[in-house]
Amino acid sequence: MGVMMAALASMRGAMLICGTTSDAGKSVLVAGLCRFLARQGVDVVPFKAQNMSNNSFVTLDGGEIGRAQAFQARAAFKEPSVRFNPVLLKPGSDRTSQVVVLGQAVGEVSALSYRERKQQLLGTVLSTLDSLRADHEVVVCEGAGSPAEINLRADDIANMGLATRANLPVLVVGDIDRGGVFAHLFGTVAVLDAADQALISGFVVNKFRGDARLLEPGLHQLRALTGRPVLGVLPWREELWLDAEDSLSYNADGVVGRPQPPVRDWLRVAVIRLPRISNATDVEALACEPGVSVRFVTEPSRLADADVVVLPGSKATVSDLAWLRETGLAQAIQRFDGPVLGICGGFQMLSKHIEDDVESGAGVVDGLGLLDVDIRFQARKTLATPSDTAWDEPVTGYEIHHGQVVRNAERPWVGDEGAQTDRVLGTHWHGLLENDAFRRKFLRWAADRAGRDFEPGEVSFQAAREAQLDLLGDLVADHLDTKAVIDLLERGAPAGLPFVPPGAPAAAEQPAPAAPGHRPPPAVR
């Protein structure tokens, strides 16, 4: 340990964590490495060159980044910065995304037009990474999707395209819970060209259940086949569910978190799982409370036994409102006689009218009419980190929205633009429910209107988040070969790593690929 601490005290370096798939464990491994290194006194920061997510966060200087990078910054005991995620793509449809560069929205792109823009963004990505490496001792980078997406390799700026230009050693993490992890890990290397393979320095197996000794024959064979070691097998821990990066983590009709037994009655919260849901993490604070069962729902019958309905944020408010009507959920929400909470896009859907010539170009459309409010979309996006007093409690949050309240005939609620009736609440603030005293008042208010004998607990949401970050740091310390990781950070990828056939043509020799049929919006990864 003394030798390791001496090495840590003088180290400088960077590495890239890639995954065999989306949601394989890249984000949590980066967070775990940041917490582990920071606890050893290392000045470490996270970095994700290009993120594609509608779960975002507003930094103190008014910029927008992926929420996972904010989570990783907390793991490193750093204030979130736009430099940690210089390019953020926010899907608004199957074919288009809003592009956010260094925290500010710069326009919309289609799958094909973004390909042309990538090379312009590469300079921003590389200069940002260079500045972080100059200012901090260690940068732990996270890839996007999988480096095996060879149809996108020619203009990649987030995976091996970044690694080769910045000369980063790469670890590939695979999710054994999905099955086929050895094929995923081997295949990821085997489809890459020789230059890319030379940087793949090892593997990590994630979410293993059981006795890790059972994996040893496979681990040895994988090393024999690829010449690369497995540096750790991270066990499955059900406590790890906060701040999910990928919207695929929020399954339709899925329970959020791990519901704890109630003090008295259960309080059942139905969260509408919108097609373009954004900042779904807002409801995680509710799921931390004992006796609160939070479930994502996608069809009307699920509201029949709910006590509370939450309409969360959306990157496509008008489109998702149309989906509510197509599925019958709109009518079910309008008939629901219990408490309703709308957050950001969900708040906008509860209004009388929405005028949108910016996001959807639909003009004026009718909202659900549960709040006597009118919304107008503005070209300039509001990005803010406000504070206020609500229900006599101090609250903080963050705002990310184009829609603005232009008429409000309801009582104000939370900030300048919120609205409330006796049973319907609306706000543009994300993160509001993370304020503990306010959240408990909200739950008592909702339970009273739902007729439930419910008593919230004494949960500290920030303490719950810190406990998860500490657990991630512990998993890295206990189950990862941290000495090997430190060697990679200091020395880079080992020389002479073997080529794994068949490989792929060199990136420069590959023809420009056609728009792929990947999960939406596919070709902007």
List Cβ<8 Å contacts ≥24 apart for 475-478. Answer: 475/32, 475/234, 475/235, 475/237, 476/29, 476/32, 476/33, 476/35, 476/36, 476/232, 476/234, 477/36
* 222 lies in the same domain as 287: no
Task: Examine the residue annotation and report whether 401 is marked as an active-site residue of this protein.
Answer: no
Is 163 contained in some domain?
Answer: yes
State the maximum Cα–Cα separation within the chain, in Å, rounded to a whole number. 70
Is 522 contained in some domain?
Answer: no
* 188 lies in the same domain as 282: no
CATH number for 343: 3.40.50.880
* 448 lies in the same domain as 473: no
**What's the average model confidence in pLDDT over 130-141?**
98
Check 18, 34, 141, 344 and give the catalytic one.
344
Cβ-based neighbours of 194, under 8 Å, separated by 6 or more: 499, 503, 506
Query: Helices (H) and strands (E) in the chain — how many of each?
Result: 15, 26
Q: How far apart are CA 287 and CA 293, in angstroms?
A: 6
* 185 lies in the same domain as 309: no
Tokens of 368: 């659900």
**What's the average model confidence in pLDDT over 501-522?**
50
* 232 lies in the same domain as 207: yes
Is 520 contained in some domain?
Answer: no
Per-residue pLDDT, 521: 34
Q: What is the pLDDT of residues 225-255, one digit of tens each?
A: 999 999 999 999 888 877 665 544 555 568 8
Is 252 contained in some domain?
Answer: no
Q: How far apart are CA 273 and CA 311, in angstroms?
A: 8
Which amino acid type is present at position 8? L
Is 293 contained in some domain?
Answer: yes
Number of domains present in the structure of the chain? 2
Beta strands 363-366 and 353-356 are: antiparallel
* 215 lies in the same domain as 315: no
- CB–CB of 489/13 below 8 Å? yes
DSSP track, 104-121:
EEEEEEEHHHHHHHHHHH
Question: Which domain covers residue 369, as residue numbers?
Answer: 264-456
- CB–CB of 351/364 below 8 Å? no
Task: Examine the residue annotation and report whether 430 is marked as an active-site residue of this protein.
Answer: yes
Is 134 contained in some domain?
Answer: yes
Q: What is the pLDDT of residues 431-460, one digit of tens each?
A: 999 999 999 999 999 999 999 999 888 999
* 235 lies in the same domain as 325: no
Distance set, CA 114 to CA 80, 99, 144, 328 (Å): 26, 9, 15, 35
Please report, to the nearest 10 degrees, the dihedral formed by the alpha carbons of residues 27, 32, 34, 38 taken in order: 160
Q: Among candidates 256, 272, 247, 277, which has minimal Cα distance to 329? A: 272
Q: How far apart are CA 441 and CA 424, in angstroms?
A: 15
**Domain limit, last residue, from 429, 456, 483:** 456
Q: What is the pLDDT of residues 112-123, one digit of tens each?
A: 677 778 888 999
The residue among 343 and 520 whose pLDDT is bigger is 343
Q: What is the pLDDT of residues 272-328, one digit of tens each?
A: 999 999 998 999 999 999 999 999 999 999 999 999 999 999 999 999 999 999 999
264 exposed, middle or buried (CB, 10 Å; 0-12, 13-18, 19+)? exposed
Is 515 contained in some domain?
Answer: no
Distance set, CA 188 to CA 15, 86, 387 (Å): 18, 26, 46
Per-residue pLDDT, 517: 32
* 220 lies in the same domain as 351: no
Q: What is the pLDDT of residues 326-337, one digit of tens each?
A: 999 999 999 999
Q: Among candidates 374, 429, 368, which has minimal Cα distance to 401? A: 429
* 305 lies in the same domain as 237: no
* 171 lies in the same domain as 286: no
Q: Does this model's pTM top 0.85?
A: yes
* 288 lies in the same domain as 234: no
Check 136, 401, 430, 479 and give the catalytic one.
430
Is 521 contained in some domain?
Answer: no
* 217 lies in the same domain as 293: no
Please report, to the nearest 10 degrees, the dihedral formed by the alpha carbons of residues 470, 473, 475, 480 taken in order: -170
- The residue assigned the tokens 């420009």 is 512
CATH number for 10: 3.40.50.300
